[in-house]
Amino acid sequence: MPKVGMEPVRRRQVIDGTIACIHSEGLGAASLKAIARHAGVTPTLILHYFDDKDGVIEAVYRDLYSRLAAETLTRLQSAQTPRARLVAILEAQVSPQMVSKDVVTAWFALSALASDKPTLRRMERINAARLMSNMIHALRMAGFNRSEARATAQELMALVYGLWTLLAHGTVDRPDAARYILLRALDGRIPN
Amino acid sequence: MPKVGMEPVRRRQVIDGTIACIHSEGLGAASLKAIARHAGVTPTLILHYFDDKDGVIEAVYRDLYSRLAAETLTRLQSAQTPRARLVAILEAQVSPQMVSKDVVTAWFALSALASDKPTLRRMERINAARLMSNMIHALRMAGFNRSEARATAQELMALVYGLWTLLAHGTVDRPDAARYILLRALDGRIPN
DNA sequence: TTATTTTTACTGAACGTTCAGTCAAGAAAA
DNA sequence: TTTTCTTGACTGAACGTTCAGTAAAAATAA
C-alpha cells in the first residue's frame, strides 16, 4: 500500500472526509477520530499530514474559498457587459458545487468557529472584501456612483450570505431557488 | 445566604453568562466551567438549574428568539398600514437588542450547532416560518399576489439572515447600517 | 414562642469518558 | 538498505456529569 506521492491524495481525502463528517454528524461530533472514519484513514495519519486539528479546519476552509474563487474567475472570463459580470459573480456564489448540502453545512459550521481563530477570520474577511470589490467594480461600470455602488453591493453580499445560511439551515433546500432569488434581486437593482 | 426564589435570577445569570462567554472566548471554549466563570456561579450550580449542557444551550436559544418575538409583537401593534407592518417586522430583526455584538455572535455560533440538535432545529424552523408568515401576510395586504409575496418575503428573509451573519463576522459593524440596507431593500420592493 | 421537619440553594471532590496529540515500530515501495 | 507511509498503543488534560453533603430559610408542630 505505501506508495510515493500520497500527500495530495491524503489531504484531499481528509478535507472531503471533514466536510462529510460535519454534514452527517454535526460540528460537535467532528473529532479527529470521526473525521478519520469518514476519510477512510486513521486519526494518526491525519496528524502526519496536518500540523494539528486546526490545520485540518484551515485546509477545509481554504479549500472551500479557493473553489469559490476559481468558480468566480471562470465565469467572469466569459462575461462581457457589466451586468453579465454581476450575473457571473452572483451565480458563482450559488453554483451547484458551492451550495450542495454538505459543503454549505460545513462552511456554516466552520465559520462559527472563525470568531475564535484568527486565520479563519482572515480568510473570511479576504473573501468578503474580494466579493465586495468585484461587485462594486461591475456596478460602477454599469453607471452607479460610488455610494450607490457600495450600498447595492452590500445588499447583494448580505443576500448571498443569507442564502448560504438558509441553505445550511435547510430553510431553503433547492439550490436553484437561491439562484432565482439572487437574480431576481439583481433585476430589481439593474433593470435590463 | 440561601434565599428563596433564586431560580429565575440564576437562570438569567447563566443565559447572559453563556452569551458573554461565547462572545469573548469563542464557541469552542464555552465549557460549563467557562460559562460559570462569566455567570459568576459554580459549574455545578448550572446543572442544579438546568438538566445538562444542552439544556443551557436550548435556554439561550429560546431566550434569543423570544426576545425577537416580543420585539416584533410590540412594533407590530403600533403599525397601521401594510408597509408600516413590514417596516416594523424588519426593524425588529435588526433592533439594537438583537444585533448587539455579543447577541449576534452567540446566535451565529449556536445556530451552527443546530444541525446536531433537533430542539434547536425546531426553534430555528419555527422562527423562520413565523417571519415568513408575517411578511407574506403584510405583502398580500399591500397588493402582492401569492407568488410575488412569497418571493419577496424569501428575499427579505435571506437579507435578514445575511445581515445577522455579516454582523456576526464583523463584516458589517454598525447596527444602523444593517437597518439602512434592509429598509433600502424594502423601498426597492414597495415604493411608497 | 420554641422545636422540628421539609424544602431550596449551593458546593467540592471524584467519576468515567473522550479528546488532541506523541511515539516507537511495522510494512511496503524505491 | 533506505525512505516513505502507516499504524496501534499510549498519555495528560479537559470535558460533562454525579453525588454526598452543608447551610439557611420556610413550613409545620408543639
Per-residue pLDDT reduced to its tens digit, A90-132: 999 999 999 999 999 999 999 999 988 999 999 999 999 999 9
In the structure, how far is the CA atom of residue B7 from the C1' atom of nucleotide D15, in angstroms? Answer: 26
Nearest Cβ partner for A162 among B165, B170, B180 = B165
Give the Cα separation of A147 and A113 in Å (integer).
32
Contacts of B155 (CB under 8 A, 6+ apart): A159, A181, A184, A185, B185, B189
Give the count of alpha carbons within 13 A of B100, CB side only: 11
- Cβ burial, residue B100 (10 Å; 0-12/13-18/19+): middle
Instruction: Give the residue-averaged pLDDT of A15-34.
Output: 97
Please list, in sequence order, all residues whose beta carbon lies within 8 angstroms of the beta carbon of residue B70, skipping any fewer than 6 positions away. Answer: none
Q: pTM of this prediction?
A: 0.95
Q: What is the DSSP letter of B29?
A: G
**Which chain A residues touch B25 with a CB distance below 8 Å?**
116
Distance from CA of B5 to the nearest CA of A (A): 35
Interface contact flag, A112 B154, Cβ < 8 Å: no
Nucleotides of chain C in contact with protein CB (under 7 A) are: 8-13, 18-23, 26-30
The Cα–Cα gap between B139 and B190 comes to 9
Number of other CB atoms surrounding residue A57 within 10 Å? 24
Contact A154 B181 (CB under 8 A): yes
47-66 of chain A touching strand C, CB 7 A cut-off: 47, 52-54
Q: How far apart are CA A57 and CA A111, in angstroms?
A: 10
Question: CA-CA distances (angstroms) from residue B140 to B26, B29, B131, B184?
Answer: 42, 46, 14, 20
Cβ of residue B66 closer than 8 Å to a chain A Cβ: no
Does residue B187 reach within 7 angstroms of strand C, measured from its CB?
Answer: no
The DSSP-derived string for A96-165 is: TTTSSHHHHHHHHHHHHHTTT-HHHHHHHHHHHHHHHHHHHHHHHHTT--HHHHHHHHHHHHHHHHHHHH
Q: Is the CB of A118 under 7 A from strand C?
A: no
Contacts B27 to A, Cβ<8 Å: 112-113, 115-116
A20 touches chain B (CB under 8 A): no
Q: How far does A36 lie from chain B, in Å, by closest CA?
A: 19
Other CB atoms within 10 A of residue B166 CB:
23
Q: Which residues of B42-70 are buried (b: 16+ CB within 10 A; e: fewer)?
A: eeebbeebbeebeebbbbbbebbbeebee
The answer to whether B157 contacts A166, with C-beta atoms less than 8 Å apart, is yes
Q: Give pLDDT, residue A1.
A: 44
Cell of A59: 485546509
CA distance A71 to chain B (A): 21
| pLDDT tens digits along A121-176 | 999 999 999 999 999 999 999 999 999 999 999 999 999 999 999 999 999 989 89
Mapping DSSP to helix (H, G, I), strand (E, B) and coil, where does residue B28 land? helix
From B182's Cα to the closest Cα of chain A, the distance in A is 8
What pLDDT is recorded for position A69?
97
B101 inside 8 A of chain A by CB: no
pLDDT, averaged per 10 consecutive residues of chain B (192 residues), comes to: 78 98 96 97 96 97 97 96 97 96 97 93 96 98 96 97 97 93 93 64
